[in-house]
């Protein structure tokens, strides 16, 4: 794995072509043990840098007329507090921003009922 340095300074258009981006923005702002600043916090807000880089990488693939657009997959890891940070709104934003990599107009609604994110089973 090649280290590209400070995530805020990476230009996705110049980054190496990869199939998958795996990352976890620092969790302190989302964790129930932290200050709960959410995605607006300085550390957890780095999630948006990951999204920016992926969009830049995919735009470059399209410009170069690559047969397959890269990266194809994105894995975001974080703490359980991400589901409840900002009353659950932060997790909705995470899902929506991931969907907007492909469709800039994507909208992800809150869960029906109480609007709480449930487990996967």
For residues 82 and 43, the answer to whether their CB atoms sit within 8 Å is no
Distance between CA 7 and CA 77 in Å, rounded? 16
* Catalytic residue of the set 27, 51, 53, 94: 27
| First-to-last C-alpha distance (Å) of the chain | 33
94 token code pair: 């995470």
Q: How many CB atoms lie within 10 A of CB 77?
A: 10
Nearest-10 Cα torsion for 72, 65, 107, 81:
30
Residue found by looking up tokens 């920016």 in the block = 52
99 in active site: no
Residues catalogued as catalytic: 27
């Amino acid at each position: 794995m090649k280290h590209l340095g400070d995530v805020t300074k990476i230009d996705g258009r110049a980054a190496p072509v990869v199939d998958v981006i795996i990352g976890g923005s620092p969790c302190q702002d989302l964790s129930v043990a932290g200050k709960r600043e959410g995605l607006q916090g300085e550390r957890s807000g780095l999630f948006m840098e990951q999204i920016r880089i992926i969009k830049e990488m995919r735009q470059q693939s399209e410009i170069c007329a690559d047969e397959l657009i890269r990266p194809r997959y994105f894995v975001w890891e974080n703490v359980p507090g991400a589901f409840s940070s900002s009353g659950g709104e932060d997790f909705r934003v995470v899902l929506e921003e991931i969907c907007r990599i492909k469709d800039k107009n994507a909208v992800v609604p809150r869960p029906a009922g109480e609007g709480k994110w449930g487990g996967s089973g």
